[in-house]
Structure formats: C-alpha cells, structure tokens
Amino acid sequence: MIRKISRRRFLSSTAAAGIGVIAMPYISRAADRPVITHGVQSGDAGIDGGVVWARADRASQMMVEVSTTESFANARALPPIAALPESDFTAKMLLENLPAGQEIFYRVRFRDLAHIDIASEAVVGRFRTAPADRRDVSFVWGGDVAGQGWGINPDDGGMFTFATMRKHRPDFLLHSGDTVYADGPIRSEVKLADGKVWKNVTIEEKAKVAETLDEFRAAHKYNFMDEHVRAFNAEVPILVQWDDHEVTNNWSPSKQLPAAYKERNITLLAARAARAFHEMYPIRGNPSEPSRVYRTLNYGPHLDVFMLDERSYRAGNGPNLETGYGPESYFLGPDQIAWLKRGLLNSRATWKVIASDMPLSIIVYDDAPNKKGSEAFAQGDGPPRGRELEIADILRFIKTSGVVNTVWLTADVHYAAAHFYNPDKAQFAEFDPFWEFVAGPLHAGTFGPNELDNTFGPEVKFIKAPGPGKQNLPPSAGMQFFGHVRIDGATGQMIVTLRDRADVALWSTTLDPKRV
C-alpha cells in the first residue's frame, strides 16, 4: 500500500500561529519498542516528490515527518499508514506535489498497533526532487548484488561500492537489476584461489535457494543488513528494475529448475519473487498493473529515464532464430514497446536514457557451458532474428521519428564496457549511431568478457574484465564497477564515467547533445 500526501497538506501552515511542528503522539519507552529493522529508503523521485519506505519488526503504523530543512523546523507530521504481516511489516508512502529541485528530509517512526502510545526510535532520510530548471544532474548506475556467494564480509569492508557511490552525492541510483541473488546461497566461508578465506555474514534463509515468499523477502533484507547499503539508501533515491536473479538464474516461462528446487513451478516462484521485490523497494505503483516494473522517470528538463522490464513478458529462452516477429520472439512484448515509443516521441528532455536490464549485443547463453539457447537479445552475427527484431524495430522508430540523444545503460554481465553502435558496421543499419554503457557488478563475482554480436554494429571503446582463466573474482579483487553520469545544466553535455569500487575513473567520455 502506498499512501499519498499532497502538496497542500505538506506546505500548508499550522492553524496555531508560531507552531511549526505537529508532534507525533507517542511515548519513547525503552523496553519492547518497535524497531526499524533495515533502515529507510526513498525511490522514484521525480519533479513532484518520491516514495518513502521502511520496515518494522511487528504490526505497527509508519509515521512520517517531512521538512525542507535538516533541522526539521516547520516539519509536518503525515497521517500514519499500516505495516502488517501481509506485507512483511513494510510500508511505503508517496509524497507528491512537493517543491521541485528541493532537498526533502523525512523522519520515520513506527507506532505499535497493540500499544499505540509506544513508538520506535526515529530514522532520518533525505532525497532531492527533480529540478524544474536546467541545473546539473548527477546519477550512478550498476547492478548485481550479493551474487555467486559473495555476501557481506566485514573483513573486506562489506558492500564497499555503495560507500564509494555515496561520496558522489548522486541525485539517484539507477539499479539495473539482479538486486539480489535469490538462487544463490550465502555460505559462512568461501575458500579463495590464493588460499585465503572469504567470511560472510549469514542468515538462515540464505542457506538455500529461495522458494517461499519469506525466503525471497529475506534475500532483499540480507543486503539491507550491510551498513554501507543502509547509509546509501538513506541519502540516495533508488530507481530499481529487476532481472533474472530476483527469481532464479536465466528464468523464463520455459525454465527447467535444477534439483536444488523442491518447488518446480517457475510461474509460482516468479509470482512470489515479484511480490517480495515490490514490497522491498520504494516503487511508484501502477493501478492498472500493480506488479509493473517498466515506467518513466521524468527528472527535469535535461533527463527522462525509461525503465525497461525484459523479464516479465518474454517468451521462453529457446533458440530465438525466427525471421518474422511473433509471440516466440517476445522479449519486451508489444505493449511495452508501444509504451516506449510513445514516451520517446513525447519526451522533451535533452537526454533519453533507456535503462535496459540486459545488454543489446553481448551474447548471453541460456546454457552457458554448452553455448546453447538465448538469454539476452543477441542471437549471433547476421541480420536481426528472434528477439533482435524488437531492437531493430525500436532503433528504426527512433531514427524515422527524429528522436535524438538516446543512451542505453545496462549491467548484467559483471564487467564494465562502453559500446558505440555504428550503422556503417552493422548488419541492420536503419538507425542513428548511439552509445551503450555497461557497469557492474556492484557486489558480486566478476566475469567476462563475452562475445559480441555484429547485428547492430557495436564497437568496443572500453572494456575492463578479468579475462580467460580468471572468472568469478571476489569483490576483494577490486573489480567491482559502477557508472557515473553528470549532465551539465548549462550546456546539456552528458559526461559518462566508468569507475571501480576504489573510485578510480577507468574511462570517460563527454557526449554533446543534438539540437532539434
């Protein structure tokens, strides 16, 4: 449930002159108070507000105070909303119609439903609404967290990449998916190649693959146990999408589950995973499709972000070699493609970022050891086939409709890369040149590089990957990557930088916007 709070309610003055804060009715008793278990988050922050999230340890009411100052002078107390067992005691509130380009501070407490005069300690967070003017915009992106058994290791500094990203004070994080590895158990120890031992913080639910709703929830809550993740979430809004590992590796309707699963119904597993995903992140809901992940973030005059969902509507991970488009070739699906085309055509933002949870031309096999089946778009060299037909259609539309300044951002493959798409070198050439940038993992094993498909003419301008014989490197090897984007408010230039967890700038480019 998301409770909305209007701009009028937020900005209206108190009835009593000189009273700036409406106090919350609670008693701070030390014994047996509710606890905010996993910090606070904000997300989907736009020009008019954003969503605030928190979780309690019991049935309670989430109480939120909101202010435009860090001191909470002239704060407003908002109507409480329920956090019940049915949602694992999580609650989200949509703050809307807030001032544009404004730092918003929020303070969260939970009031025990059984004893409403007893409340938790407060946890404070903040986010900035999108600008109405042409100020600088800054954001980070990446994906892949707690994968391949690499969990929270205090001896290695925990999920340290989040601390590095936080230093940039970005306007938001674009999380490109694989937010968790529900299919990846976290063991207490992992022996490294050099003989050293990686030691994980563990919880009972992460000792096996996730199958029940509570186990899927626990996968997300495990990541929130990390101090760097919690600190980041309290200061930086998240714009989140999902990919395969929120459910299980390479899942599609045709997925044959491995022996580790007692539950054999992939559709049921995906439904449970989707519920947990939406409970655990501050996503603005869509009444027509409550589980929808694809959506648009309008972040001021310079930026629109189009979040894709390349998992929910796909056909099975078969060969995908069809030369004619039909249900067997669906990846985004017709409805999502129509939504994307409308959004791109109607966008007046300088830059249109297309957030794709999978890369366009990097070949990802469904059965990697045997190089069989298709998991991503790329089908191998040659003209568009299967799922590539959707990309060909979108790229052709962008060109013929006069849409300019599109950039694709992605993760998934666990290495960093910059690809320039050149129609002069493509098998399908009905498109304008564009860039795709790859960043990740944020905290998982490092792999790659993968093969590239020449259908759309990608040119590798930069790559950082372990190389043959050095796959699944732990986070302690340092090859954890994120991307940083800064849009200059005055010129509209987009500066894209690929960085590692030590904040070393590995590669950067400046893109000049085309004017229409």
Residue 24 is part of a domain; what is its CATH number? 2.60.40.380
Do 56 and 187 belong to one domain?
no
Domain finish residue from 100, 128, 156: 128
Two structure tokens written together for 246: 């929120």
Distances (CA, A) of 71 to 20, 93, 107, 189, 232: 12, 21, 11, 44, 20
Residue 516: inside a domain, yes or no?
A: no
Q: What are phi and psi of 381, to 5 degrees?
A: -60, 150
Residue 416 has, within 13 A of its CA and on its CB side, a CA count of 24
> Do 50 and 190 fall within a single domain?
no
Q: Is residue 322 part of a domain?
A: yes
Is residue 58 assigned to a domain? yes
Closest CA to 89 of 53, 143, 138: 53
Tokens of 17: 């002159």
| The predicted structure's pLDDT at residue 8 | 44
> Domain with 503 in it: what CATH number?
3.60.21.70
For residue 85, the enclosing domain spans 2-128
Segment (H or E) for 7: helix 7-11
Q: Residue-wise pLDDT tens for the chain (516 aa)? A: 455 544 444 443 322 222 233 344 455 555 689 999 999 999 999 999 999 999 999 999 999 999 999 999 989 999 999 999 999 999 999 998 899 999 999 999 999 999 999 999 999 999 999 999 999 999 999 999 999 999 999 999 999 999 999 999 999 999 999 999 999 999 999 999 999 999 999 999 999 999 999 999 999 999 999 999 999 999 999 999 999 999 999 999 999 999 999 999 999 999 999 999 999 999 998 889 999 999 999 999 999 999 999 999 999 999 999 999 999 999 999 999 999 999 999 999 999 999 999 999 999 999 988 998 899 999 999 999 999 999 999 999 999 999 999 999 999 999 999 999 999 999 999 999 999 999 999 999 999 999 999 999 999 999 999 989 999 999 999 999 999 999 999 999 999 999 999 999 999 999 999 987
Q: What is the total count of domains within the chain?
A: 2
pLDDT the model gives residue 516: 77
Q: Are residues 200 and 122 in the same domain?
A: no
- Of 400, 302, 277, 419, nearest to 356 by C-alpha is 419
451 and 421 inside one domain: yes
Residue 81 and residue 151 in one domain: no
Q: Are 460 and 429 found together in one domain?
A: yes
- Alpha-carbon distance of 319 to 367, in angstroms, equals 11
Q: Examine the domain organization and report whether 303 and 427 are in the same domain.
A: yes
What pLDDT is attached to residue 160?
Answer: 97
pTM of the model: 0.94
Report yes or no on 501 lying in a domain: yes
Q: What is the pLDDT of residue 4?
A: 52
In a domain, 406, yes or no: yes
Can you give the pLDDT at residue 29? 52
pLDDT of amino acid 96: 85
Cα distance between the two ends of the chain: 42
* Distant-in-sequence, close-in-space partners of 144: CB < 8 Å, separation ≥ 6: 177, 178, 245, 411, 412, 414, 440, 441, 442, 443, 444
Looking at the structure, do residues 293 and 439 belong to the same domain, yes or no?
yes
Question: H-type helices in 31-168, by residue range?
Answer: 160-167
Beta carbons of 184 and 149 less than 8 angstroms apart? yes
Q: Are residues 200 and 59 in the same domain?
A: no
Asked if residue 282 and residue 382 are part of one domain, the reply reads yes
Residues 178 and 214 in one domain: yes
Task: Decide if 48 contacts 96 (C-beta within 8 A).
Answer: yes
The residue among 107, 175, 500, 490 whose CA lies nearest residue 302 is 490
Residues 400 and 284 both lie in one domain: yes
Of 73, 93, 128, which residue is a domain's last? 128
- Nearest partner of 25 among 69, 70, 49, 61, judged by Cα: 61
- Which of 95, 128, 161 terminates a domain? The answer is 128
394 found inside a domain: yes
Is residue 302, in this structure, part of any structural domain at all? yes
Is residue 467 domain-resident? Answer: yes
- What is the number of other CB atoms lying within 10 angstroms of the CB of residue 468? 7
